Amino acid sequence: MKNLVDCINKGLAFFTLCLSTFLVFCVTWQVVSRYVLGTPSTVTDELARYLFMWVAMIGAAYTTGQHRHLAIDLLMMKLKGTGKNIVGLVIQAAVALFAAVVLVYGGSVLAISTLENGQITPALGLQMGYVYLCLPISGVLMIFYVLADIVSLIQNFSGKDTAVSESH
């Protein structure tokens, strides 16, 4: 499981880095074309918005896997042993429920209905459903990381010391 988590981590890090780099190039070109050339590029303006959505959502999934997301962990810091593991399981279950309902289900409904309606972006001519696919993809990745953490917590209950959550 740890090898799979590490592989997904590396892939997401690379993908997010590539998207971020491309986003910086788009925004830089937008600034140059607007203020230096005097003719703003509508394509890079729109592309930057959609790239930002993908960077934010895929980056959120990556951050979830790295345990670097925003969290209030006062209770977790005070607990030890079984109590800490139980609270950890409850937290992971809540994250999984949110990711499943809001991101996977809601994002899938949004992407599919937008694809069916044929909504197209004005400058790029892309179907908006493809832009919205970042939501369910991010949700599936978050659920993957949550399941890896749940496996680790369950192994902690049984006394095995193979903490997936500590290693990624």
91-120 pLDDT, tens digit per residue, is: 999 999 999 999 999 999 999 999 999 999
- Cα–Cα dist 116/120, whole Å: 11
pLDDT, average across residues 125-141: 97
Task: Reduce the secondary structure of 33-100 to three states and give it as a string.
Answer: HHHHCCCCCHHHHHHHHHHHHHHHHHHHHHHHHHCCCCCCCHHHHHCCHHHHHHHHHHHHHHHHHHHH
pLDDT at 161 over 80: no
- Cα–Cα dist 100/110, whole Å: 14
Q: Nearest-5° angle of CA 127, CA 128, CA 132?
A: 130
pLDDT score recorded for residue 84: 86
- Cα–Cα dist 106/116, whole Å: 15
What percent of the chain is modeled with pLDDT above 70? 94
Residue 113: half-sphere exposure toward Cβ, Cα within 13 Å: 6
Q: How far is CA 50 from CA 46, 126, 160, in A?
A: 7, 10, 44
pLDDT, average across residues 130-134: 98
| Residue 74 binned pLDDT confidence (cut-offs 50, 70, 90) | confident
The overall pTM is greater than 0.95: no
Q: What is the DSSP letter of 122?
A: T
